[in-house]
Each structure stands twice: as C-alpha cells, then as structure tokens.
Chains A and B, each alone.
Chain A
Amino acid sequence: MFQGMRFLPEQASTVASKVDALFFFLVGVTVFFSTLIFACVIVFALRYRRRSEAERPAAIHGSTLLEIIWSVIPLAIALTIFAWGATLYIHLTRPPQSSIEIFVVARQWMWKFQHPGGQRELNELHIPVGRPVKVTMTSEDVIHSFFVPAFRVKMDVLPGKYTTAWFEAVKPGQYHLFCAEYCGTSHSQMGGWVHVMEPAEYERWLAGDKPGESMAAAGERLYQRLGCQACHLKEGSGRAPSLVGIYGKPVQLATGQKVIADDGYVRESILNPQAKLVTGYPPIMPTFKGLVNEEQLTQLLAYIKSLRLEEKAQAQ
C-alpha cells in the first residue's frame, strides 16, 4: 500500500519546476490568509466570549478605510498571481521550432502515437531526454485529455480538430500518461507510460523499432493512391493549387481573407474542401471524409509538409 508513495509529484520536465514555484507561492498565500482568519476567529471567540446574558456590546458600523485595505491588498496579490500564471501559460502553448513532432490519435480507450520516422506505438511513448517534443493530437470519437503529471502538461484531445502540447523531459524514467477527460466506461484504464530515454538509447530504440516507411513516405503513397496529384500539380498549372511550399504560409481565399496553411487548415481542406476555397480555383474538389482515417490524415499532412523541405532543397 505504501509502495511508491510520495507527497510531491516528480519534476520531470523543464516546466515542472516553474509550475511548482507558482503552486508553492499559492500554498504560501493560502497558509498566510487562512492562518490570519483562523487566528482572528479563535482569538475573538475566546477574548470576547459572552460573560453574561445581559451583555450588549456597542455597535461598530464599519470602516471604509479597512474595506479599501482588505480589497486592494488581496487584489494586488491576485493580479500578481494572474500575471505569473498567464506568462507561464503562454510559454506552455508555444512549442519550440526544434521540437520532435509526434502525432497522437486518441480513441475509446487507447492512445496511438506515430513518430516522424514511421514508428508507431500504442499506449507507450518513447522520447529522448533534453529535446522538446510537440504532440499534435486528435480524437476519433469523444473528447479525451492528454495528461502527464510528471511534466505538468495537460491538453484536451477533441474530435474534428488538432490540439497541441509540448514538453521537454529532463530526467530519464517512466512516467504515467493518463486520460484526464471523462470518456466513458474504461476511462480510468485509458493510460500508459511515457518512457524518457538517454539520446543514444533513444536512437537505438528508433532503429530497433524497424519502421516500414516514414510518415511522409506513407503520406506520399496515399497521395498517389487517392489521385491528389492529378489536380494539385507541383508547378501550379493544374485545376487545383500547387501544394509545394504552402505549409505554414498564408493562403489567399476566394472570400478575400487570408489564412495560414497550418495543420488545422490542411485537415479541413481535405475533409471539407469548400469551406475555405483558395482564390482563383473552382469548387470542384470532392470531400475525402470517410476515405481517410485520422492516422492517414496525419500522414498526408507529413507529406505536404515535406513538400516544403523538397522545395527548399531544390532552391539550394
């Protein structure tokens, strides 16, 4: 029963100690104000206890000065905590450019991971120590939530859209992965482990897992099979815009708006092509909803991203 028991969670990521610093500041604020209130209540209850039934203490109506003091001081403390928490939150939502990108598909009741090199895992995630990892996640059914307590990271995983989180492990080891959003019967068993490995060990693991092909290569095969290349000619002279180099760039829409061609946009354009049409092209693309599953979508995404790399390579 006492096995592995602890009162403080492991700090296994770069942000863990930062989150904990704010947490313990809040513990300090809580202890200070609770002690103040409890002490006043206890001292007053003893000091002013009723000594006779006839006692009629004089009325005190209040003090505007006191009201101001005990509004303004807590407000100042509250705003400090707000600013501290918000700054850290922004840091948590911005993955570094150099992150290893891993795709996550959640479903009742399992986690599926795809590494860029094509390695796939179920309920286990292997990552190296000392390198930021970005997870791009979606769900095949209900809402789940990706939660690694040792990293202080949690992000909901929704059907129909991509959400992201990132973390950089600082300590090799094995850490709990939980689903934190109630998702049905076996919600409490929808967990697994994150294995943080030394870089060399991680490289061995990557090589040993014998991937058939990289995500981008799988995506390219799928791209050919679905006939995407028939319209999306690389030179841009086809019936549909060229996809070379579009990833991460602004796209001019028929409505006059501009959107960034990010994961969410590419995904939407495959499943619901008429939603955000590129200007100058007719609305002729059929939907691929039901023809590609979430994992295949992420492979197509990886391929379209690689077209950017190809373009850069050609330019050099």
Chain B
Amino acid sequence: MSTEPAAEHPNYLTVSHTVRSWLLTRDHKRIALLYLISISGFFILGGILAGLIRLELLTPQGDLLLSENYNKVFTLHGVIMIFFFLIPSIPAVLGNFLVPIMIGARDLAFPKINLLSWYIYTLGGIFTIVAAVTGGVDTGWTFYTPYSSIYANTNVVLTAVGVFISGFSSILTGLNFIVTIHKMRAPGLTWMRLPLFIWAHYATSIIMLLGTPVVAITILLVGLERALHIGIFDPALGGDPLLFQHLFWFYSHPAVYIMILPGMGVISELITCFSRKRIFGYQFVAASSLAIAAVGFLVWGHHMFVSSQSVYAGMIFSFLSFLVAIPSAVKVFNWTATMYKGSISLRTPMLYAFGFIGLFTIGGLTGLFLSALAVDVHVTDTYFVVAHFHYIMVGGAIMAYMGGLHFWWPKITGRMFSEVWGRIAAIVLFVGFNLTFFPQFILGFLGMPRRYHMYPPEFQVLNVLSTAGASILGLGYLLPAFYLLWSLWFGAKAGNNPWGAAGLEWETPSPPPVENFERTPVVTEEAYAYDKPQPHAVPEASRA
C-alpha cells in the first residue's frame, strides 16, 4: 500500500484550499463532495421530521402536534427526502465522483454544467426551506389537486417553485452522464465492458432527461391554477383532477427507478468485489436496467386503481406492473448466483449489500400485492403502501447508498473507516429498519390509512413497535456520521485499492489526482475480471 507524497502530486483535495476554489470548482470530484454535504444536510432534516412523525404516532391521540402541523411535517419529510435526498443521492454524489473515473475520463463532458446543476439544486433547496420556515406546506409530497391548487392555505407555490427548480439540476446531471458515457470512454472500453454501475446510471439518466420535464410542467400548471385560476385540474373551473394524477405519476413512478436503479448499480459492484467473482449474467443485468427504465414509464396508472380511472386502464396498468417486476427479479437472482463458488468476505460494504438484497426482495414482492387490482383496492392509501415504498427507498436505495459510500469512502477521502463500527452500524440499521417498517405492513392490512394524525386505539401496539424501531434506525444513522468523520483525521491511509477490487477507479491513487489518471488508461478486458490477479488496464505509454 503506497500513497503519493502530497507535495509532489497534489490530489483533488489538496490542490487548492480556498473557499472560492471549492465554490467555483469544475472538478466532478469536488462537485460530488458539494453534493454530499448538501444532501447530508437535507437527510438530517428529513430524518428529524421522520422522528417527529413517529413520536406523534406513539399515541392514538394527536398530543404532540396540531393536525395542521403534523400535515406539514409529513409533507416536508416527503418533499425533502424524495426531491432533495433520494433523487440526487447516488447519482449526484457517487455517480458524479465515479462515472468519469470508471470510464477512464478526466471529467464529465460538461464540467461547468455540472457545477451549475449543484447551484440549481441549492437554489431549489433554499426555496423549499424558505417555504417551510415561512409557514410550511400541507399538501403531501404528491400535491394532489384540487386540494393543492385551490383549497390548501399554505405555501404551495413557493414549495412547488423549489421542486420545479431542483428538477432542472436532475435534467442537467442526466444529460451530462449520457453524453459522457457515450463520448468519453477510455480506449478499449466497449459498451459490453462497462461496469454495471455505469449501465445503471445510463438508464437512470434517460429517465431523468425524459421524465423530469413532465413533472416540471405539471407543477407549473398547479401554480397557474392557484395563482391565476386557470381551470386545469379543478372541476369547479372546468378542469379534471385526474389529469393531475396522470401527469404527476407519469414522472413520479419512473422517479422511483431514478432512486433505485443507481442503487442496483452499486450492489453489482459490491457483490462482485466481495465475492471476487465476475457478475453472473452480465448482459442480463445490464439489459434489465434498460428494461426497467423503459417499462417503468408505462406503469404510472397503478397508483390510480381506486381513483375512478377506467376499469380497462386499470387492468392494463396492472398487467404492465407485473411485467416490470421481472427484470428486478432477474437482478436479484443474478446477484445471488454471483456469490456461488465465490470467495466471500463480509466487510462492511458487503453487509450493506446483503441488507439491500433482503429488504429489496421484500419491498419488491410486496409491490406485487399493490399491482394485484383487488388487493390494491384494500391496501392502497394505507400503511401497507408506506411500508412497501420505505422497503424500496430506505431498505433499497439508502442501504445501497450507505454501502456505496463505505465502499468508495477510501477512494474519495484516502482514509479507511473503522471496520468494527462499520459492521455494527450496518447491523443496527438492518434491525432498526425492519422493526420500524415491518409492523406497518400489518397496520395497512388492518386498514390504518396513511397520513393520519390520529388513529383508533386498536392500532397502537403496532405503532409503538414502529416508533421503537425508528429510534434504533436513528441511532444506526448517527454511528456512520461519527466514525466516517473520525476517519478523515484518524483513519488509516487507504492506498490505491484497499478492497482488492477490479475497476479503473482502483488503479489511480486515493484520493485521485485532479486529472484522475496520469495517463489515459486503455482497457483490454471485460469488467469484473476477478479471476485474474493483475489490474486489467495498462497505461497507454506501455501499450506498444
């Protein structure tokens, strides 16, 4: 293990130290860190709000908050976690840092646009925070009309502007990734040699680029109806409230895949590294990302089975929802098969990968309940749905994000974190998560509706269990905050490749130099050549 002397070859962190050099940076690695800091702030805020929700639901009476405040709390929790944490989490932090390095490029295709996207995100965040501080918003993150466009007396427009603005940062990130992956791959890095992390980000970028404009327009229309009383969604003005739901879910269902696909990419990297195996069925795993992105655009109506959408539309959307389950299942089977006859090491990132597989499997299978029309009629809009999407988003997306953050932490910072604490945190998170959200499946089946400030007393025991779990979950998130920060000053030096992983990012120093590679690497092999001990890329100079 060797690290370059900082004096000779400054890395991207040590090359300059001024605040200006950070705020005006065009280095994708520094922009990734700007995003890391911003989304961590939003995650803490969203987490505190989640804690407030769970604390209120400890008792059936509404004894902690007033109803209007409770409604604002769950709305802000949803808005922040979805638009300002989950959507940017893996792409804007890990993707930003790794996409160029993994394909042997010096930076993203449009470095200035990359910086712009962070500023746009920040501006959107400021609008949302201002909206929250100056009165809040109580429409739910789904902004259903005509409640949001006519009846709500809260800061709908300001919040909507915040979400509208932040959408553009997503569009720009997607555009940047697509162009970069098409045009800037190192010599020899063909499409079929790309790491699956790149395939997943490619599929995600397509959704960002095609889906986000639709939600932007929808939000704009809500604003127009609210401000100018142009009848679009309110039947009293000649509009159609279902139109909003169609437009909203046309983006917001694919948005679920924006959140989970990059996580799937991370898991493919973790499973292969800690099993020392080539991924099982590379083409199928890569193609399933694209299949999910494509079919994911055609299932939005499954959010509307009891909305008075036509019965036949409901049947088509149900059918397509069952189809989209198959590529996800294929991924899980391939990850499991990758471990077969491997050399499995249970380091911290691998524990997160196991957590992901377990929780995503349950989250995915409970999605079948919601795709099945008659069962959905009973459980939709109840805690069953809340449990299901938290299994996908917290159990899936955040587990993958945590796994990825731990896996690439040595690369990003040049330091190792405490392995013991890392494993403890992963286990605490897994236990806390299940205790929080599993009881909610039962609550939903029993009929407890979501977004309820008060509830009948017979639901209390399960709510107490859920709140107890949430406190363990909260502790699980605090631990990494401490030991990761600790590692920045006291962690062991990481070296280029602490995990013995394959991939171009492990062939450059940790932290990488500003230009990522001293010489453009040339790729001669497929990804995940774990059966060979040698690095699979050679410097261009020694190619002849």
- Give chain A's interface residues, CB within 8 Å of chain B: 1-9, 15, 18-19, 22-23, 26, 29-30, 33-34, 37-38, 40-41, 44-45, 48-51, 53, 55-63, 66-67, 70-71, 74-75, 78-79, 81-82, 84-86, 88-93, 108, 141-143, 145, 147, 149-150, 152-156, 158-161, 163, 176, 178-189
Contact = CB atoms under 8 A, between A and B. Distances in A.
B28 interface: no
Given A62-B282, A66-B333, A180-B381, 9 more contacts: A6-B446, A44-B340, A50-B344, A56-B276, A89-B318, A89-B374, A145-B306, A158-B235, A160-B241
Contact of B447 (A143, A149, A179): A149
A95 B62 CA distance: 38
Main secondary structure of the interface of B (DSSP, over half): helix
Contacts of A71: 326, 329-330
A179 B361 contact: no
B51 interface: no
A38 B358 contact: yes
Interface residues of B, number: 100
Nearest to A70: B333
B515 interface: no
Main secondary structure of the interface of A (DSSP, over half): mixed
A158 B146 CA distance: 10
A53 B308 CA distance: 60
A154 B306 contact: yes
B411 interface: no
B442 A7 contact: yes
A128 to B, nearest CB: 22
Interface of B: 62, 67-68, 71, 138-140, 142, 144, 146-147, 150-152, 234-236, 240-242, 275-278, 280-284, 305-308, 311, 314-315, 318-319, 322-323, 325-326, 329-330, 332-334, 336-337, 339-346, 354, 357-358, 361-362, 365-366, 368-369, 371-378, 380-382, 442, 445-447, 449-458, 460-461, 464, 500, 529-533
Contacts of B68: 185
A57 B276 contact: yes
A149 B445 CA distance: 8
B365 A33 contact: yes
Residue among A23, A57, A66, A153 with the highest chain B CB neighbour number at 10 A: A57
B457 A179 contact: no
B273 to A, nearest CB: 12
A91 B311 CA distance: 11
Given A90-B311, A142-B151, A188-B453, A67 B281 contact: yes
B151 A153 contact: no
Contacts of B346: 45, 49
A71 B322 CA distance: 12
21 contacts: A4-B457, A4-B458, A19-B378, A26-B365, A26-B372, A29-B368, A30-B362, A49-B344, A53-B500, A62-B280, A62-B282, A62-B334, A66-B281, A74-B325, A89-B305, A89-B373, A92-B377, A142-B146, A145-B381, A156-B308, A184-B138
